[in-house]
């Protein structure tokens, strides 16, 4: 297994910059996920690591080796695509064995070695009973497992996955995701996984890289991405339902600070805001950090601070919880509430916000502001 290091990696297609000055250290044995909206440069980054695209600038290292200019077959990486790219006329066994047979001499493998490897991988993935079938006789999930097997059988240093689960139905995707995680634990392999699905990214990654227009926005553990998004883009992209974002102003008023926005104001303890001197600011509140005051508000360390009044517009049952859209002033806030509460559209409800979980952003730079440390004054 190996580390993968990208240094100032840039890829231009004509005038278009697909990837811009990327610096990334993927640890040996790490599961790293690249996530971002369509066109942000995820696949291009993966293809640059695989050697399927040529770098415009920068360096790519696999292990300690600079691989700029090294052809894909000599990089010791295995790539799994969204389209499984299996040979339709070959059996599962032959699909798994194909790459090893082609390079048998180079790898110093006997026919027996190849057979042992193919059967071992088939056992690992639970596809032994399918070895005699052809791809068209397999379900989508089984094909995906064979595609994975074809990568594993090569014992590569690094696995690269380009949206490998997106052709599967929702239930199967969850299943294969779990298998992939177990597989990663068992193989202790370096894996780099591309997806546009933030939930997939959060559930799979040891760390997640959020990309926008070819530029890294944040590299962090899933928990920190969620709890401390570095900017508004990450705050909007990570989390479902997404974070409520309100543009307003902070104003000092005696021993409280007021956040004022269209049609309502929220009174907050000074310790919960970056600085009461700040003018225009964006406040972020996750839907689960808002609760109906009729629910147990005692857990929330607030007196009068953090309370507001709203009117329920929409109720969406989600099983254990329900998602409410509550109009507060000119804003509609998403609120995750327990399902037991019998809430009807049109109802007027008191809301309490967890003042220890607020997120603050500079509306101009879009960067996160940290409570108590903000220095900007406008």
Interface residues toward ligand ATP, by CB under 6 A: 13, 16, 18, 36, 38-44, 196
CA 200 to CA 198: how far, in whole Å?
A: 5
Q: Which of 303, 363, 364, 294 is nearest to 324 (CA)?
A: 294
Sign of torsion, CA 31 151 47 143?
negative
CA 203 to CA 238: how far, in whole Å?
A: 12
Backbone phi, then psi, for 181, in 5-degree steps? -65, -40
Closest separation in Å from C-beta 16 to ligand ATP: 6
Contacts of 258 (CB under 8 A, 6+ apart): 250, 251, 252, 265, 266, 267, 268
Closest separation in Å from C-beta 217 to ligand ATP: 13
Closest separation in Å from C-beta 214 to ligand ATP: 7
Which of 16, 304 has the CB closer to ligand ATP?
16
Residue 256 CA to its chain's centroid (Å)? 37
Which of 197, 313 has the CB closer to ligand ATP?
197
Closest separation in Å from C-beta 130 to ligand ATP: 29
CA 48 to CA 77: how far, in whole Å?
A: 12
Beta carbons of 61 and 53 less than 8 angstroms apart: no
Closest separation in Å from C-beta 159 to ligand ATP: 17
Closest separation in Å from C-beta 201 to ligand ATP: 12
Which of 184, 196 has the CB closer to ligand ATP?
196
Closest separation in Å from C-beta 11 to ligand ATP: 8
Closest separation in Å from C-beta 255 to ligand ATP: 48
Contacts of 193 (CB under 8 A, 6+ apart): 31, 32, 33, 34, 161, 164, 201, 204, 205
Which of 41, 135 has the CB closer to ligand ATP?
41
- Tokens 């508004």 map to which residue? 232
CA atoms within 13 A of residue 375's CA, in its CB half-sphere: 0
DSSP 8-state assignment for residue 367: B
Closest separation in Å from C-beta 228 to ligand ATP: 24
Sign of torsion, CA 135 141 147 151?
negative
Which of 55, 130 has the CB closer to ligand ATP?
55
Class of residue 348 by CB neighbours under 10 A (exposed 0-12, middle 13-18, buried 19+): exposed
Which of 177, 212 has the CB closer to ligand ATP?
212
Which of 39, 140 has the CB closer to ligand ATP?
39
Which of 162, 362 has the CB closer to ligand ATP?
162
Contacts of 79 (CB under 8 A, 6+ apart): 46, 50, 52, 151, 159, 160, 161, 162
Q: Which two tokens stand for residue 146?
A: 């064979």
Which of 45, 337 has the CB closer to ligand ATP?
45
CA 238 to CA 209: how far, in whole Å?
A: 11
């Amino acid at each position: 297994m190996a580390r993968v290091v990208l240094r100032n990696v840039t890829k231009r297609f004509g005038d278009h910059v697909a990837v811009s000055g990327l610096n990334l250290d993927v640890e040996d044995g790490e599961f790293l996920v690249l996530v971002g909206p369509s066109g942000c440069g995820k696949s291009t980054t993966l293809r640059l690591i695989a050697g399927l695209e040529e770098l415009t600038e920068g360096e790519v290292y696999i292990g300690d080796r600079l691989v700029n200019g090294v052809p894909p077959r000599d990089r010791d990486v295995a790539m799994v695509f969204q389209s499984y790219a299996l040979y339709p006329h070959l059996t599962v066994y032959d699909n798994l064995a194909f790459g090893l047979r082609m390079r048998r001499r180079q790898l110093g493998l006997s026919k027996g070695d190849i057979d042992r490897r193919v059967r071992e991988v088939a056992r690992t993935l639970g596809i032994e009973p399918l070895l005699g079938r052809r791809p068209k006789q397999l379900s989508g999930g089984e094909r995906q497992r064979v595609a994975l097997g074809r990568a594993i059988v090569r014992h590569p240093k690094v696995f690269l996955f380009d949206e490998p689960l997106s052709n599967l139905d929702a239930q199967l995707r969850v299943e294969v995701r779990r298998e992939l995680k177990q597989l990663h634990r068992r193989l202790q392999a370096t894996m780099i996984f591309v997806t546009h699905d933030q939930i997939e990214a959060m559930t799979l990654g040891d760390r997640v890289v959020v990309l926008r227009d070819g530029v890294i926005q944040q590299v962090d553990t899933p928990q920190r991405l969620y709890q401390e998004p570095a900017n508004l883009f990450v705050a909007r992209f990570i989390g479902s339902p997404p974070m409520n974002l309100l543009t307003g102003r902070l104003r000092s008023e005696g021993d409280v600070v007021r956040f004022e926005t269209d049609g309502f104001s929220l009174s907050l303890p000074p310790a919960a805001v970056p600085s009461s001197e700040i003018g225009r600011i964006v406040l972020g509140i996750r839907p689960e950090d808002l609760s109906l005051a009729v629910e147990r508000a005692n857990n929330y360390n607030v007196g009068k601070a953090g309370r507001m009044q709203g009117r329920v517009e929409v109720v969406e049952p989600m099983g254990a919880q329900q998602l409410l859209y509550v109009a507060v002033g000119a804003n509609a806030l998403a609120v995750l509430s327990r399902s037991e509460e019998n809430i009807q559209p049109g109802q007027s409800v008191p809301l309490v916000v967890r003042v220890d979980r607020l997120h603050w952003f500079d509306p101009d730079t879009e960067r996160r502001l940290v409570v108590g440390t903000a220095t900007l004054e406008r």
